Amino acid sequence: ADTAARAGATDRNGQLTKPPGALGRLEDLAIWYAGWAGDARPRIAAPQVLVFAGNHGVAARGVSAFPPEVTMQMVANFRAGGAAINQLSDFAGAQMQVHALDLDTPTADFTQGPAMTGAEVCAAFTTGWNAVDRNADLLVTGEMGIGNTTSAAAIVTALLGGDDWTGRGTGVDDAGLARKQAVIAAGLAANPKRSGLEVLAALGGREVAAMAGAIAGARALRIPVILDGFICCAAALCLQAEEAGALDHCVAGHLSAEGAHARMLEALGKQPLLSLGLRLGEGSGAALAIQVLKGALACHSGMATFAEAGVAAG
Amino acid sequence: ADTAARAGATDRNGQLTKPPGALGRLEDLAIWYAGWAGDARPRIAAPQVLVFAGNHGVAARGVSAFPPEVTMQMVANFRAGGAAINQLSDFAGAQMQVHALDLDTPTADFTQGPAMTGAEVCAAFTTGWNAVDRNADLLVTGEMGIGNTTSAAAIVTALLGGDDWTGRGTGVDDAGLARKQAVIAAGLAANPKRSGLEVLAALGGREVAAMAGAIAGARALRIPVILDGFICCAAALCLQAEEAGALDHCVAGHLSAEGAHARMLEALGKQPLLSLGLRLGEGSGAALAIQVLKGALACHSGMATFAEAGVAAG
């Protein structure tokens, strides 16, 4: 991040017509964004939402309340403008693109070995990296993939340990939850690798790898990122496992209702901007959180200083 | 609220292309708003932000980090467009009006008797009631008044009991906090009345009474309200103390960092939409929360149904 812009933003924040700290996290957010934008008084004009879709071999094991065909059906819904993420992207003034990643070829069933080959994970990661618009000033990554909360929980279990990272995803019953737990245990046994990118290949999916690629690509372009829920954070965790600080350009958009997302955010060292019980994926929570960041910058960049307004500074 | 519109919205919510409940509180919000709007598929097109300002006799007792002149200076800042609420109202596409209520005549010092006469509190309440635009489709009420966290804490103490409702307001030190507590204790001793409107007159301020009037006026027009922080909620509490259900047309916009706001929301039976550590007043937290409600309605009213999109419903 740009230390001069950050210092300039911190200085400006102290002069605005409000008691010190009275805008709470909005102040921290504005200063954080200013540092990455390289501008002490920035606005968000060109947010980008990227939605990646992939199919999972483990979906055949009954880990979801929906059949795998729904991945392709929802991609059609994204393209027709009918999904939640379409409404929230439009509302945020964001451009949105959908990348369907080899939906006819699900990843391999990770209970039997790695979900993806090295070539497959690299292709997906690169698709994500290249999808980032270098003129965007903010990025949200979302996903769609029946079975991908199982993949995400497997990634987190591999990287953080413990055995209680599963949740009900789109809404499985107790038997479905037990199947998820068994599938994850089998996946870990079949895939003993432990580096971030190894785990991404072994237990992830193409859409998860693409999200990781987009988040890393945004970092190379110094574009700030708002992370979405459980699956997006699992992708992000793979990057952080490779390199501390890899997510300094990211904030957590929301706390999902999915299983152990709160503990995952703790592991990432991120506090969510919103906590509204969302568990939809698609980037929906992060897209809504764009409004919070925009509001923070509207205040930071638009308010008068004590001197400009002739207000006593207390 | 309109039960047919509410039922229509509930039915529509169940058909949208998402797992049941996956949009969390956004779903409840959309259905609540639909009921008050009398439209099963509504949008927010004309939000209104009302900012009321008043001066307080108790400000002379050293209960604030800022001198009372700042009330008038901030009114000028609101009128010039330089305050946080101006930026957040513009961002929400809201009309905003500022009502400065007899700033040259502070309320009486409530440690010596009632802050306002019956005529004074009625005049302020009526100003608030009449300020609501009957064509608005959402209302936010905010305030400015040096000393008014002391007034608000006194109201809450009178209505809810206990003695730990004070906070640091704009940022008083320990000695200032002790003065607030002593002023509130003296105010309660000098004003033994206990109905909601009696307490509003005895311990409130003109801007607090105007907020109560605007919230009640919005109810008469069936206009939904987003409540702001500690002071706005103290005004709302006076209405609820008079009549259970008086705030059914209101949601809590945010959890303020001011003192005991969390316990106050509990007493109101409201869960906040945002929790970002704001403690500015002006209606700022509620104005930012307009974005959450707009996002909820963008999804509810814009999404495709399973049938429209040809997606399997699980």
Active site residue B282: yes
Q: Is the pLDDT of residue A277 over 70?
A: yes
Backbone phi, psi, residue A132, to 5°:
-75, 125
- Locus of tokens 């040259």: B104
Question: Would you state the pLDDT for residue A133?
Answer: 98
Our CA-based measurement puts residue A158 at a distance from the nearest CA of chain B, in whole angstroms, of 26
Q: Check residue B314 and give its pLDDT.
A: 62
In the block, tokens 């802050």 appear at B115
Collapsed DSSP state (helix, strand, coil) of residue B16: strand
Residues 6+ apart with CB under 8 A from A210: A50, A52, A54, A99, A101, A124, A125, A127, A128, A131, A141
Q: Is A5 a residue whose pLDDT tops 70?
A: yes
Q: Tell me the nearest-neighbour CA distance from A179 into chain B, angstroms.
A: 18
The pTM (predicted TM-score) of the whole model is 0.97
Q: Please, which pLDDT band fits residue A172 given cuts at 50, 70 and 90?
A: confident
Percent of chain A with pLDDT over 90: 89
Residues A218-235 have a mean pLDDT of 98
Which residues from B are below 8 Å from A73, CB to CB? 309-312
Nearest CA in chain B to A291: B291
Residues B100-133 have pLDDT tens digits of 999 999 999 999 999 999 999 999 999 999 999 9
C-alpha dihedral sign at A29, A35, A36, A42: positive
What is the spatial distance between Cα B179 and Cα B59, in angstroms, rounded to a whole number?
Answer: 11
Which pLDDT belongs to residue B312? 83
Interchain proximity A76–B310, CB inside 8 Å: yes
- List, in sequence order, every residue forming a beta bridge with A2; answer none if it has no partner: none
Mean pLDDT per block of 10 residues along chain B (314 residues) reads: 94 96 98 97 98 97 90 97 98 98 98 97 98 98 96 96 82 89 95 92 98 98 98 98 97 93 96 97 98 98 96 78
CA distance A310 to chain B (A): 7
Q: How far is CA B99 from CA B57, B73, B141, B207, in A?
A: 19, 13, 11, 9
Would you say residue A314 has pLDDT above 70? Answer: no
Q: Do B299 and A90 touch (CB under 8 A)?
A: no
Cα nearest neighbour of B16 on chain A: A83
Residue of A22, A69, A314 with shortest CB distance to B278: A22
Contacts of A275 in chain B (CB under 8 A): 275
Nearest to A83 among B17, B76, B80 (CB): B17
What b/e string do you get for A214-232 counting C-beta neighbours within 10 Å, with b at 16 or more?
bbbbbbeeebbbbbbbbbb
Question: Which among A24, A73, A277 has CB closest to B312?
Answer: A73
Which residues are CB-contacts of B237 (< 8 A; sequence separation ≥ 6)?
A: B155, B156, B159, B160, B196, B264, B267, B268
With an 8 Å Cβ cutoff, are B86 and A302 in contact?
yes
- The per-residue pLDDT for B96 is 98
For A222, A265, A275, B125, B293, the CA distances from A255, given in Å and listed in that order, are: 24, 8, 5, 39, 17
Q: What is the pLDDT of residue B13?
A: 98
Output DSSP code: residue B81: T
Nearest residue in chain B measured CA to CA from A303: B82
Q: Would you place residue A207 in the very low, low, confident or very high pLDDT band (cuts 50, 70, 90)?
A: very high
Active-site residue identified among B69, B143, B282, B308 = B282
User: What does the pLDDT look like over A16-65, one tens digit per residue?
Assistant: 999 999 999 999 999 999 999 999 999 999 999 999 999 999 999 988 88
CA distance A168 to chain B (A): 11
Active-site residue list of A? 282
By the 8 A CB rule, do A64 and A167 touch?
Answer: no
This model of the complex carries an ipTM of: 0.96
Flag if A84 and B23 touch (Cβ within 8 Å): yes
| Residue A194 pLDDT | 82
Q: Which among A24, A280, A294 has CB closest to B18?
A: A280
So what's the pLDDT on residue B267?
Answer: 95
Nearest to B304 among A19, A80, A292 (CB): A80
Chain A contact set for B170 (CB, 8 A): 19, 22, 314
Residue A308: list chain B partners with CB under 8 A: 82
Give A162's pLDDT tier (boundaries 50, 70, 90).
confident
The residue of A29, A303, A305, A306 whose CB has the most chain B CBs within 10 angstroms, and thus the best one to mutate to test that interface, is: A303
CA distance B118 to A209: 67
The residue whose two tokens read 């409004």 is A291
pLDDT of residue A38: 96
How many contacts, defined by CB atoms under 8 Å, are there between A and B?
191
Distance CA B272, CA B223 (A): 19
Q: What per-residue confidence (pLDDT) applies to A166?
A: 87
- Judging contacts by C-beta atoms under 8 Å, the chain A residues touching residue B94 are none
A24 closest CB neighbour out of B17, B257, B308: B257
Pure H helices in chain B: 3-15, 25-37, 69-80, 84-91, 118-131, 148-160, 174-190, 196-203, 206-220, 230-242, 261-268, 284-302, 306-309
Q: What is the pLDDT of residues B267-298, one digit of tens each?
A: 999 999 999 999 999 999 999 999 999 999 99
Which token pair is A102?
A: 């080899």
Interface test with B, best of A26, A29, A32 (most B CBs within 10 A): A26
B25–A88 C-beta distance less than 8 A: no
Higher pLDDT pick, A185 / B313: A185
* Separation of alpha carbons B254 and B283, rounded Å: 10
Distance from CA of A22 to the nearest CA of B (A): 5
Contacts of B103 (CB under 8 A, 6+ apart): B53, B54, B55, B71, B72, B75
